[in-house]
Structure 1
Amino acid sequence: MTDAGVTYVVQNNLTGQLDVHTAPGIHYIVPFFSTVTDYKQVITSTFEADEAVIARFADTYVGMIPVTFRFKLPADPEGVRKMHREFRSETNLVKSLLMDAERYTGEEFFQGGLNQFKTQLADQLQNGIYLTERRQVEIEQTDLAPVGLASPDGPGPKLVRAKQLVWKTVPILQDNGVPQRAENPLSQYGIDVTQVLIGDPRPEPNLDRLLMDKKRLVAERIKTVQEQETSKAQANTEQLKKEIERTRAVQDAQRQKELRTIEMQREVDVAKQVAERETIEQRKLQDLAVIQKEKELAIARAELDIQKANASAARFQADAIAAKGRAEAEVLAAKYKAKAQNKEIFLAETQRDMATALYSNLKDFKVEMPQNVIVGAGGADGGGAGRMPSNLDVITSFSALGLMEKAVRSKAAA
């Protein structure tokens, strides 16, 4: 009885005939003389833990590599028969497909060669195995310093860069740089590799200690380098700060010097301006003095001319006045002479003119005599003539006048 997903190879031990059954169903076999071998049509084989693949690397270290393969077996009976004749069982088939890890050193494999190893393994399983050769090559790697090696960092294990000659299995390359391949052992049976998975490899204890020591030392080295870089950066920063401060101080001093120079230049310029202004003022005062003197000289000259003109005018005026006086005197003398000759006519005309003026001015005059006269204590007999009346005289006179006016009003009323 056959199941789905499984290929069965029935071998007749009497005749040696191989029958292949890939579909589920019931088939007839020769009892006691038939052998049935089953192959999963898709095989997934995982090797891990104690069954992990043991790989011995080029530097003699050993590693345990968990691997998972997924194969698709051929479906045609002839390919199945050929595969069965070669491997005889599914277990032998899987074991024959294990990888060869001699092309790597333990350190490079566990420090980054795993991905390249996985890629090359899948490529070879699908396209053919690389043709290889053993070759001694020089590799450079980080290693622990030998015991007793002097180190400027102090005692203890240190890392050094070392070169080492190892025998490695390397691919043979064609002229174009492509690796040469042997015939793919799987393609002749029609087996396809659909997936290759590699788990986390486990190094042997010695390699693990080496890797851990290198990892720790690398971390310490990185930390030390970082601290050194930090200290160097801090020192550079402090140096830069000092340079900046020094530059700032120099700039400040230069600026102060320039400011003092500018201030001194300004003072010099101000002094020059003051001196020039004073010179201009002095020149202006001198010019003004000269102008004033010239003005005074002109005024004096003008006054002199005026005085001369006044003197000439005065002389002319005196001459004119004298001439006028003489003429008037001669006229007056002629008038008086004529009047002396006609005296009676002159007196009659004079009296006539006086009378005309008097009558014309006295026609509206009204002369009233005073009713009362206040005299001094000397009385009206002339004994006190020329003496001013006193206050008592005035008061007494006003009292008498009041009584007299009152008596007059009373009389007029009666």
Structure 2
Amino acid sequence: MDQAVKTPLISTLSTSLFSGLKKYFMGIVGALVALMLAMSSFFTTELGYTYVVQDTLFGTIRVFTEPGVHFKVPMFSNVYTYNQAMTLNFGNQENGEVIRATRQLTEVEVQFADTYTARIPATFRFKLSGDPEKVVAMHREFRSYDNLIDSLLLKNAKNVTVVTATQYTGEEFFQGGLNKFKVQLEDQLQNGLYQTERRQVEVEQTDLAAVSSDNDDADRLERKIQLVWKNIILQDNSGQAMRLANPLDSYGIQVRQVTIGRPIPEKRLDELLVKKKDLVAKRITAIQAQETARAEAKTAQLEKEIEKARAIQDAQRAKELAIISKQKEVEMERQQAELERVRKEKEQAVAVLEKETQLEIATAERDIQKANAEAATYAAKAIREKGLAEAEVAKAHLLAKQAAKDIYMAEIQRDIAGVMYPALKETQIKMPEYYVGDGSATPVSSLDVFTSLGAMDHLKKTMAATPTN
């Protein structure tokens, strides 16, 4: 009975325990699934990367370029990661160390227009666009980061490098054309390949001379003109280079940097360049030796010319000193003669001056006499003219008087009376001691008598006043 009771009880307990364990396990699994779903519903983005999130449930595509935490539909979303900056290194090294890059590749092998080949180490750095539409277009085209690099960036960089090399000859590239090559390479990567036309052009270059009966030196170089096919850049009407479409423009990818390492020429070209360099060095050495010899000869010649010039200068100096001494003597004699001549000229000048002074005095006296004579003549003429004028006046007066004789005589009588009557105020009349009359029967007027008497009296006084001898 006890055994019968125990068996159902154990069975019941086992069933209950199994059911509890099953529920517990299912709870753990459910929690894990929920945790996984919750964790897969979010993702984080980092700086320097571009994320393309493709939602297959809703058919949407989102682009994230900045760091943060973002939601996605669990189990129905795919996240594609692209580096925003990529570096392709084609065998380029710095100080012997390999450059850290997205891709490590061998040098780009190119062929120049003159069929010479070379390997060019280069580094290209690209940057993705920040425009979501261009990123979506890029993702739709390439679908992954590795495919983008291998199918677009790597092939485009190699293609542009190879095409740019066809625009140069080997010698032109290795003799100073590397910098221009780098500029053109970066320009074509960023803006598109140049449109070119294959033409045959003349190129002057140095090459090994052919061994013949005239030349047994296999290392001799010679300059010659060769016809070489080159890709010539076409230009538009404004002189700008015509270009092909740039495949990077569609996706907004930019070329940030192009670095060229030391190119490695093929063996034949390297030997040619080395021999040419040696010959150029020898030629420079020979030219320098010639220039040195020429300079030494010129120096010796100059030294001889200097010695000759010194001797000539010494002789010339002695000659000049002798000439100067003679010139001094001649000059002293000349000065003495000049002094004598000046003295004589001075004496002659003094004599001449005296003669001239005397002549001037005589001339002045003559001029004075002449002036006096002329003045006397003018004075005589003036007197004569004055006399004539006075005579004319007197004549006019006389004519006037004759024209009015009675009036004139009356005026004379008046004037005489005005003089005589005051004088006769105290005059005593005495009988004259002489008789006035002319013995004629013509009667004499009182005036005539008084006039005669006055005249006689005046004569007496004059005679009395005059001393007798």
Q: TM-score range by the shorter chain?
A: 0.5 to 0.7
Quick check: which has more Rg, 1 or 2? Answer: 1
Report the equivalent of 2:287. 225
Distance 2:142 2:87 in 1: 17
Distance 2:60 2:167 in 1: 40
How far apart are residue 80 of structure 1 and its match? Answer: 2.5
Distance 1:132 1:66 in 2: 24
Aligned pair 1:180/2:180, yes or no?
Answer: no
The letter for the 1-side match of 2:155 is S
Report the equivalent of 1:326. none
Report the equivalent of 1:64. 119
- Match 1:128 to one of 192, 196, 211: 192
Report the equivalent of 2:155. 96
Q: Secondary structure of 1:96's match? A: helix
Distance 2:310 2:64 in 1: 92
Report the equivalent of 1:108. 172
The letter for the 2-side match of 1:54 is E
The letter for the 2-side match of 1:120 is Q
How far apart are residue 260 of structure 1 and its match? Answer: 6.6
Report the equivalent of 1:191. 253
Report the equivalent of 1:73. 128
The letter for the 1-side match of 2:277 is K
Q: Secondary structure of 1:82's match? A: helix
Q: Secondary structure of 2:156's match? A: coil
Tell me, yes or no, if the aligned pair for 1:144 and 1:159 is still in contact at 8 Å: yes
The letter for the 2-side match of 1:140 is E
Matches within 5 A, 1:15-414: 19=61, 21-22=63-64, 27-28=72-73, 38-48=81-91, 51-87=106-142, 89-90=147-148, 91-98=150-157, 99=160, 100=163, 101-147=165-211, 157-256=219-318
Distance 1:176 1:225 in 2: 46
Tell me, yes or no, if the aligned pair for 1:128 and 1:184 is still in contact at 8 Å: yes
Tell me, yes or no, if the aligned pair for 2:63 and 2:136 is still in contact at 8 Å: no
CA RMSD of aligned residues (A): 3.8
Tell me, yes or no, if the aligned pair for 2:50 and 2:82 is still in contact at 8 Å: yes
Q: Secondary structure of 1:161's match? A: strand
- Cα distance change, pair 36–216 in 1 and its aligned pair in 2 (3 A): farther
Q: Secondary structure of 1:232's match? A: helix
- Cα distance change, pair 46–3 in 1 and its aligned pair in 2 (3 A): farther
The letter for the 2-side match of 1:22 is F
How far apart are residue 134 of structure 1 and its match? Answer: 0.9
When the two structures are superposed, what TM-score results if normalisation uses the length of structure 1? 0.54
Distance 1:197 1:106 in 2: 20
Tell me, yes or no, if the aligned pair for 2:210 and 2:218 is still in contact at 8 Å: no
Give the aligned length: 266
How far apart are residue 140 of structure 1 and its match? Answer: 1.8
- Cα distance change, pair 127–150 in 1 and its aligned pair in 2 (3 A): same
The CA deviation string for residues 257-298 of structure 1, in whole angstroms up to 9 with x for no partner, is: 5667778x59x98xx9xxxxxxxxxxxxxxxxxxxxxxxxxx
How far apart are residue 87 of structure 1 and its match? Answer: 4.8
Distance 1:161 1:136 in 2: 19
How far apart are residue 122 of structure 1 and its match? Answer: 1.4
How far apart are residue 18 of structure 1 and its match? Answer: 8.3
- Match 1:6 to one of 34, 41, 49: 49
Distance 2:54 2:115 in 1: 44
Q: Secondary structure of 1:46's match? A: strand
Q: Secondary structure of 2:299's match? A: helix
Unmatched 5+ residue regions in structure 2?
1-42, 93-104, 334-469
How far apart are residue 166 of structure 1 and its match? Answer: 0.8
How far apart are residue 30 of structure 1 and its match? Answer: 6.6
How far apart are residue 222 of structure 1 and its match? Answer: 1.0
Identical pairs, percent: 51
- Cα distance change, pair 192–84 in 1 and its aligned pair in 2 (3 A): same
How far apart are residue 103 of structure 1 and its match? Answer: 0.7
Tell me, yes or no, if the aligned pair for 1:134 and 1:167 is still in contact at 8 Å: yes
Distance 1:237 1:156 in 2: 40
Unmatched 5+ residue regions in structure 1?
273-414
Report the equivalent of 1:349. none
Q: Which has the higher contact order (CA 8 A, sep 6+)?
A: 1
The CA deviation string for residues 354-396 of structure 1, in whole angstroms up to 9 with x for no partner, is: xxxxxxxxxxxxxxxxxxxxxxxxxxxxxxxxxxxxxxxxxxx
Tell me, yes or no, if the aligned pair for 1:2 and 1:21 is still in contact at 8 Å: no
How far apart are residue 21 of structure 1 and its match? Answer: 4.2
With 237-246 and 52-61 compared, the bigger mean Cα shift is at 237-246
- Cα distance change, pair 70–262 in 1 and its aligned pair in 2 (3 A): closer
- Cα distance change, pair 164–240 in 1 and its aligned pair in 2 (3 A): same
Distance 1:46 1:174 in 2: 35
Tell me, yes or no, if the aligned pair for 1:144 and 1:158 is still in contact at 8 Å: yes
Report the equivalent of 2:398. none
Distance 2:242 2:256 in 1: 23
The letter for the 2-side match of 1:48 is G
- Cα distance change, pair 56–235 in 1 and its aligned pair in 2 (3 A): same
Distance 2:322 2:214 in 1: 62
Tell me, yes or no, if the aligned pair for 1:134 and 1:169 is still in contact at 8 Å: yes
- Cα distance change, pair 75–262 in 1 and its aligned pair in 2 (3 A): closer
Tell me, yes or no, if the aligned pair for 2:209 and 2:218 is still in contact at 8 Å: no
Distance 1:112 1:156 in 2: 27
Q: Secondary structure of 1:97's match? A: helix
